[in-house]
Structure 1
Amino acid sequence: MTHINTLDPGASPLDYYGFELRRHREAAGLTQRQLGDIINYTGSLVGQIETARKLPTQEFSERVDAALGTGGLLSRLVGLVMRSQLPAWFQQVAELEARATEICTFQMGMVHGLLQTPEYVRAVLGALDASDLDDRTTVRLARQRIIEKVQPPVFWMVLSEAALEQVIGTRDTMRGQLAHLLTFATNPRINIQVLPFSAGAHAGLTGSFTLFRFQGDPTIVYTEGYGSGHPTANPDTVKDCSLRYDHLRAAALSLRDSAELIRRVMEDRYGEQLA
């Protein structure tokens, strides 16, 4: 267990966050409990975050910044903390997501992480390993801040109809996830097309992949295996996957028809009227 007196701010972004939180709290003359009362969190949680035993959230950081007048310091740090908690092999992907001006993804089996609900995230991450599930869920959800930026990337997802039918978590989890997808129907920067079963053989049969496009930098293709990620800027691979993606978008339902299918599956398969 990390002890407050030996916390090294240079050890990790999480340790640095805890060090700064404690430093600003003590400068304000507040105990952990007093600060917790002000921001409506427990003093115990404040202590756990100060000692790098618990991850801070965006909301926690914003409340502390307001209470201590830190000028948004902790709110800026929390993104770095969250990124550092991702698996080492995935941290580069998070950087790509944060820098991309356009993200185009084909997903065969489940909704992309940037559009997952908290319940869906927990079901995905807890399928084989339920350890530290709260913190791991918080870390994944933190990636979604990129779609809330003033200038977010254009996000385009072609989603196999199989992902609508595959029950991840409970029926309530799936209903909530599909309802969440429908909230983006009027957002021109987040586009969702469903590749229906009726499309038959298609250009994405070899698996899911993502294209990251940038302002002034080469496009990167990303594929994923078990416990490993594979980004590449190889021109031949990029050209091949770009062509595949164009064919997948052409074979998928229109944005409007996709939303209608999502709504129909949500109501017919996961609706409250079902036993």
Structure 2
Amino acid sequence: MADTNEFRHLLRKLRTERGMSQDALGAEVHISGSQIGHYESGRSVPVDDMAERLEQALGAGGELRSAADRSRGEAVAPWLRSWADNEGRAIALRTFEHSVIPGLLQTESYARAIIGVGEHTPEQIEEAVRIRLARQATVLDRPDPAILTAIIGEGALCPRGAIMKAQLEHLVDLGCRPNVHVRVVPFSAGLHPGMAGTFAVATLPDGTTVVYLDALGEGVVGSHVRDVRHAVVTWESVNARALPCDMSRDLILKAIDNHDSRVA
């Protein structure tokens, strides 16, 4: 993950190595020395053209401009990022789905079928599937994958055509990964707060908590204390009703057996 201090430390290092004062460097790129001070204190990050001018003045060989790009990205507030961006940065993800398999755990065929339920053209469906698979790769296949805990309502395991067996087997396989915990809320748990809607909670590298609340397919990203509190309290309620991972795996395997018996 990019260090939000990376640019400012590098700028100060390069400037001092070249024996330049803040005023001297500022004069070189036509800004004040105090603005250079703002960059070095982390109060601001230069825009592209200024980063390029600093790059040329210090002869950084692309290093300084790249650091500025990364630091600008880190400076964006989490709730202004797309949810996929927050997923890709998260160190821990908690997600709940009552009636379908969570997107990060879907097979390509299952994703295509679920997305295809809406009013989409074939081209839009394929693009949405491509994006979903890319999100999965970013979260699950990166060198430092997030700890992903997915809680699923038992209703999501019910037979839904030929694609379902492969999807359930995929769930079992993913659940064998050390960073993926798949748990099921059984029908016997009865009514619970999670039935009100889909949501996800991401913990970012700096400890910030961001939530994703689904509203008729139009997800909302938020980090307001009220939203986070509601999502975390709901998660704890759902978590208390979910089966442990091993019992959840047994329930998924039973669903696979039931699928086979229906086909036979």
Give the TM-score normalised by the residue count of structure 2. 0.65
| Change in CA separation of 1:123 and 1:240 when aligned onto 2, cut-off 3 Å | same
Q: Distance in 1 between matches of 2:216 and 2:175?
A: 32
Q: Distance in 2 between matches of 1:274 and 1:229?
A: 36
Residue by residue over 1:38-96, the C-alpha shift from the partner in whole angstroms, topping out at 9 and shown as x without a partner, is: xxxxxxxxxxxxxxxxxxxxxxxxxxxxxxxxxxxxxxxxxxxxxxxxxxxx9701111
Query: Structure 1 residue 232 and structure 2 residue 222: aligned?
Result: yes
Residue by residue over 1:122-173, the C-alpha shift from the partner in whole angstroms, topping out at 9 and shown as x without a partner, is: 1011113242133332222111112011101110011000111162xx2x20
Kindly report which structure 2 residues correspond to 1:168-207, keeping only aligned pairs within 5 A, or say none: 170=161, 172-207=162-197
| SS in structure 1 at match of 2:174 | coil
CA contact (8 A) 1:109 1:166 kept: no
Match of 2:234 in 1: 244
Query: Structure 1 residue 271 and structure 2 residue 260: aligned?
Result: yes
Match of 1:138 in 2: 130
Q: Distance in 2 between matches of 1:149 and 1:142?
A: 11
| Change in CA separation of 1:254 and 1:142 when aligned onto 2, cut-off 3 Å | same
| SS in structure 2 at match of 1:183 | helix
| SS in structure 1 at match of 2:151 | strand
- Give the superposition deviation at 1:196: 0.4
The alignment of Structure 1 onto Structure 2 pairs a total of residues equal to 182
List structure 1 segments (4+ residues) > 6 angstroms apart after TM superposition: none
Q: Distance in 2 between matches of 1:163 and 1:238?
A: 25
CA contact (8 A) 2:199 2:212 kept: yes
CA contact (8 A) 1:208 1:223 kept: yes
Among residues 215, 218, 222, which one is paired with 2:208 in the alignment?
218
Note the residue ranges of structure 1 that are not aligned, 5 or more in a row: 1-89
Note the residue ranges of structure 2 that are not aligned, 5 or more in a row: 1-79
Q: Distance in 2 between matches of 1:166 and 1:220?
A: 33
- Give the superposition deviation at 1:225: 1.9
| Change in CA separation of 1:91 and 1:166 when aligned onto 2, cut-off 3 Å | farther
**1:242 is matched by which residue type in structure 2?**
V
- Give the superposition deviation at 1:121: 0.9
Match of 2:98 in 1: 108
Give the TM-score normalised by the residue count of structure 1. 0.62
Aligned-residue CA RMSD (Å): 1.9
- Give the superposition deviation at 1:217: 4.3
Kindly report which structure 2 residues correspond to 1:118-157, keeping only aligned pairs within 5 A, or say none: 118-128=108-118, 129-132=120-123, 133-145=125-137, 146-157=139-150
> Which structure exhibits the higher relative contact order, with contacts defined as CA atoms closer than 8 Å and separated by 6 or more residues?
2
Bigger Cα Rg: 2
